[in-house]
A and B are shown apart, each in its own frame.
Chain A
Amino acid sequence: MKAGKLSTFLKSGAIWGFVVLELIFFSVAGEFMSLSNKAFMDLDNMLLLLKQSAPIGIIAMGMTIIMINGNIDLSVGAIFALSAVVLLDSMTWTMFAGLGDWVIPVSWLLALLTGVVLGAINGLIVWKTGVDAFIVTLGSMLGFRGLVFMYNGENPTSYLNWTLVDFAEAQFLGLHTATWFLAVVTLVIWYVMTRTVHGRNAHAIGDNREAAVNAGIRVGPHILINFIIIGFLAALSAVVFYSESGSVNPNDGQLYELWVITAVVLGGTKLAGGSGSILSTLGGVLAIQLLRKGLGHIGADTETVNLVIGLILIAVLFLDRQLNLKGKEELKT
């Protein structure tokens, strides 16, 4: 192992250490406190956990590149809901009536297109107006959610296509369809961020925007692309989830943005941009899902789960800050 690798490994591996700790803790605690006699580390339980991580996880990959780029997107929950509405409702449109099961790819495309368009709207506004992404997406979060309610009022939008449900519930090599989507998205985004020009430039812009401009990088298009990617992923997350559930409530996806950001931050991505890791985000997503599931396993209720996750988030960021401060002082001397 070359010099410097170990410290990098420790830093990027910290979240995975936390995941392992959780596994051990819940396995042991589960023995004494669980209401069920099933072990926490049961294979089926773990596969289910991966599947349940997918909706947040897929969006979190997009949020990681947005945040590395120095922005944030609060509208992902609303994009998620609106794409879901488009997905389920379009399957009932009379113009697609003759398509049979071929309506599935058409509806998927429509839903994904919805995400792309909404993301592009966010990106264009951020690029062209120069308004902070936090403000822009706060506005679009409200606006997009408004569209969801305009679509069907307070009523859920429902449609079950059994072919689709079969697909969504399928397991290939043991992993559920949703898990495969999460895996593929993680891999693709990881490649984008580490191996492509776009990824490199997004890093540079997030770390030092002025230096990036001085190097002749066009900042705006990169920002736009990232918002399109996260819009697409929010829609993909909806496609994966609602293909199975078949019913979307107008309030679905609320607070998703916060869960996603929590996962990304737990994974070590800086809010200020410039640094972050796709794989660590995956760790952050799994850590949160493990906490939710594990605390449930030992009999805690939802309120307790939220309280604990909140405390852990602050503790982790505090630790991170202390470690970074120490590093900076070392640099100074």
Chain B
Amino acid sequence: MTVPVPALRLEGIVKTFPGVRALDDVSFSVMPGEVHALMGENGAGKSTLMKVLGGIHQPEEGQIIVAEVPTVMTSPLQAKSKGIVFIHQELSLAEELSVAENIYLGELPKRSFGRVDWGSLYAQTDAILSKLRVGFDARTRVGDLSIANQQMVEIARALTVDAKAVIFDEPTASLTDAEKVVLFDVISDLKAQGVGIIYISHRMEEIFKMTDRISVLRDGQYRGTLVTADTDEDEVTQLMIGRSLDLTRAASTHDLGDVALEVRNLSCGHLFQNVSFAVRRGEVLGFYGLVGAGRTEIAETLFGLRDPSGGSIHLDGKEIRITSPVDAIRMGLSLVPEDRKGQGLVLGMNCRDNMTLPQIGDLTAGPFVAEGAEIAIFDQYRDKLDIRTPGWKQTVGNLSGGNQQKIVIGKWLSMHPSVLIVDEPTRGIDVGSKSEIHNLIRELAAQGYAVIVISSEMPEVLHVSDRIVAMYSGRVMRTFTSDEVTEDNLIQAISGIASEQVA
């Protein structure tokens, strides 16, 4: 028997971004007919690696080898032509077109004079669909399909080429249990056809059910490959998080005040259900969970951007109703949103105008804005938060991520809120500024603010929080005090493992 050739092999991939070594000598290979899990925390380098593989980023060093042929990837389309196909978490389909048109988008079979050969288009598509054993046909409008079936269309699209390797990126994020079963069947079929599969997921249960081997990335470095049958969750977790944390746990040394915000059994449709927690003045309450676990949605509900479907919110012991951000701000809640540029800042405006945006209605002299008062506020919080900018006239879009985030935080602090909610405080911020933001959050708690921090980065949430709420698919799995929490029990709680005994 000949030694099988890897369907896809990565050798010594290095990719750096300014200030970050995103991928540091990453090598691993996928055999034909193998399901290979790629694991790692958020920020470990998985998505960068996939972007290198898809030709979106060019690696500085290293080689991509497809079926023993070294290949330079220049674009996702070119990667596809080499047999490397991506099934992304976010679907990219034209909803108004039929399944067949979507699958052959850009490559529709033609007859003379550029007419579409509908007959062979539908025939080819139905042939592929029958392999997938799906319950819809080539003529169905994609917009009429469920999310799971739309994902099937993406997969069918992958099958139109002679795929050597198919990469699934968090494929089950938006699927129901029944739909997952169908997806797993399809993956098994692909596997039986000798396609190499890279399976990216945080969900241990799926990993252990579906995969043959598990490769782990941590801080951009390849940490090893385990054979799934010979390992267990603990070993994988160890490999994923076993770094020497330079972020030490920072439990509060100051006394906590009264409960500022309490949430009882708050629900919002299917996004999250029966969420209860309380945060005291002087406390940092962390929220940790996978993307889609409902953390951001809770923040948005508290800030009046979503209407709760049940439960109650209490501020300083009194029940309140929040129907809009205007209400929330008036009552002393403020939100530093997840998407700083899209939701937090008016990028074309200057620093001062951004900082005073929520309160210029109160900063007036006659009909005009009192610019002197605005500049005073800006100066005060520039000094307090150490915002580095040439001056208030600087357009916010030109600042670094860390300084932008400080502007958003300063914007709310200048309103003297009682509760500050920070969603992904350091997303897209370089390492140096990260610890500054972390210290700032600790300091704000010490000054008596009640702070809620939502984060997808475990070291961050461990570092800044006094207590941590672990969420999994819209539910609070467990609330940890800083004495109880370990990387292990936290990652298990947010993966939906061991929920029963601790719930």
Q: Do A and B bind each other?
A: yes
- For the complex formed, measure the closest distance between the CB of A85 and the CB atoms of chain B, giving whole angstroms: 33
Which A residue's beta carbon lies closest to that of B303? Answer: A214
- B411 interface residue per 8 A CB criterion: yes
CB pair B348–A274 under 8 Å, yes or no, is yes
Q: Point out the residue from B328, B349, B367, B368 that lies within 8 Å of A203, measured CB to CB.
A: B349
Task: Using A208-B345, A216-B325, A274-B348 as known contacts, say yes or no to A195 and B369 having CB atoms under 8 A apart.
Answer: yes
Contact with A along B342-364 (1 / 0, CB 8 A): 11111111000100011011001
Neighbouring B residues of A196 by C-beta, 8 Å: 367-369
Q: Point out the residue from B330, B358, B390 that lies within 8 Å of A215, measured CB to CB.
A: B358
Which B residue's beta carbon lies closest to that of A198? Answer: B367
Neighbouring B residues of A207 by C-beta, 8 Å: 346-349
CB pair A217–B357 under 8 Å, yes or no, is yes
- B152 interface residue per 8 A CB criterion: no
User: Which of A4, A191, A200, A212: most chain B Cβ within 10 A?
Assistant: A200
Neighbouring A residues of B343 by C-beta, 8 Å: 208, 210-211, 214
- A321 interface residue per 8 A CB criterion: no
CB pair A210–B342 under 8 Å, yes or no, is yes
Which B residue's beta carbon lies closest to that of A208? Answer: B346
CB pair A204–B325 under 8 Å, yes or no, is no
- B192 interface residue per 8 A CB criterion: no
Contact with B along A147-165 (1 / 0, CB 8 A): 0000000000000000000
Neighbouring B residues of A274 by C-beta, 8 Å: 346, 348
Neighbouring B residues of A211 by C-beta, 8 Å: 342-346, 357
A77 to B163, CA, bound (A): 59
CB pair A275–B369 under 8 Å, yes or no, is no
Neighbouring A residues of B360 by C-beta, 8 Å: 197, 200-201
- Number of residues from A at the complex interface, CB < 8 A: 24
A191 to B367, CA, bound (A): 10
Neighbouring B residues of A214 by C-beta, 8 Å: 303, 305, 325, 335, 337, 343-344
- For the complex formed, measure the closest distance between the CB of A192 and the CB atoms of chain B, giving whole angstroms: 9
- A43 interface residue per 8 A CB criterion: no
Which B residue's beta carbon lies closest to that of A216? Answer: B329
A274 to B367, CA, bound (A): 22
Neighbouring A residues of B345 by C-beta, 8 Å: 208, 211
CB pair B361–A275 under 8 Å, yes or no, is no
Neighbouring A residues of B397 by C-beta, 8 Å: 331
Q: Point out the residue from A3, A4, A204, A217 that lies within 8 Å of B349, measured CB to CB.
A: A204
- Number of residues from B at the complex interface, CB < 8 A: 32
- For the complex formed, measure the closest distance between the CB of A194 and the CB atoms of chain B, giving whole angstroms: 9
Neighbouring A residues of B390 by C-beta, 8 Å: 3
A252 to B142, CA, bound (A): 48
CB pair A203–B346 under 8 Å, yes or no, is yes
CB pair A197–B346 under 8 Å, yes or no, is no
- For the complex formed, measure the closest distance between the CB of A222 and the CB atoms of chain B, giving whole angstroms: 11
- For the complex formed, measure the closest distance between the CB of B424 and the CB atoms of chain A, giving whole angstroms: 14
Contact with B along A265-287 (1 / 0, CB 8 A): 00000000011000000000000
User: Which of A3, A203, A213, A216: most chain B Cβ within 10 A?
Assistant: A216
CB pair A212–B369 under 8 Å, yes or no, is no
Neighbouring A residues of B368 by C-beta, 8 Å: 191, 195-196
CB pair A215–B348 under 8 Å, yes or no, is no
Which A residue's beta carbon lies closest to that of B358? Answer: A215
A275 to B325, CA, bound (A): 25
Question: Which chain A residues (199-240) contact chain B, with CB distance < 8 Å?
Answer: 200-201, 203-204, 207-208, 210-218
A200 to B357, CA, bound (A): 8
Neighbouring B residues of A210 by C-beta, 8 Å: 342-343
- B393 interface residue per 8 A CB criterion: yes
A213 to B346, CA, bound (A): 11
User: Which of A207, A214, A216, A331: most chain B Cβ within 10 A?
Assistant: A214
A210 to B341, CA, bound (A): 10
Neighbouring A residues of B346 by C-beta, 8 Å: 203-204, 207-208, 211-212, 274
Q: Point out the residue from B328, B348, B353 that lies within 8 Å of A275, measured CB to CB.
A: B348
- B326 interface residue per 8 A CB criterion: yes
- For the complex formed, measure the closest distance between the CB of A167 and the CB atoms of chain B, giving whole angstroms: 29
CB pair A200–B369 under 8 Å, yes or no, is yes
- For the complex formed, measure the closest distance between the CB of A7 and the CB atoms of chain B, giving whole angstroms: 11
Which A residue's beta carbon lies closest to that of B411? Answer: A215
A218 to B329, CA, bound (A): 12
CB pair B348–A216 under 8 Å, yes or no, is no
Neighbouring A residues of B326 by C-beta, 8 Å: 216, 218
CB pair B353–A200 under 8 Å, yes or no, is yes
Question: Which chain B residues (288-341) contact chain A, with CB distance < 8 Å?
Answer: 303, 305, 324-326, 328-330, 335, 337
Question: Which chain B residues (156-185) contact chain A, with CB distance < 8 Å?
Answer: none
Question: Which chain B residues (365-419) contact chain A, with CB distance < 8 Å?
Answer: 367-369, 390, 393, 397-398, 411
B interface list, Cβ under 8 A from A: 303, 305, 324-326, 328-330, 335, 337, 342-349, 353, 357-358, 360-361, 364, 367-369, 390, 393, 397-398, 411
A interface list, Cβ under 8 A from B: 3-4, 191, 195-197, 200-201, 203-204, 207-208, 210-218, 274-275, 331
Extra A-B contacts (7), CB below 8 Å, given A208-B348, A214-B305, A216-B330: A195-B368, A204-B357, A208-B345, A211-B344, A215-B325, A215-B411, A217-B357
Residue pairs across A and B with Cβ atoms less than 8 A apart, 26 shown, are: A191-B368, A195-B368, A196-B369, A197-B369, A201-B360, A203-B346, A203-B353, A204-B346, A204-B349, A204-B353, A207-B346, A207-B349, A208-B345, A210-B343, A211-B343, A211-B345, A211-B346, A213-B305, A213-B325, A214-B337, A216-B325, A216-B329, A216-B358, A218-B326, A275-B348, A331-B398
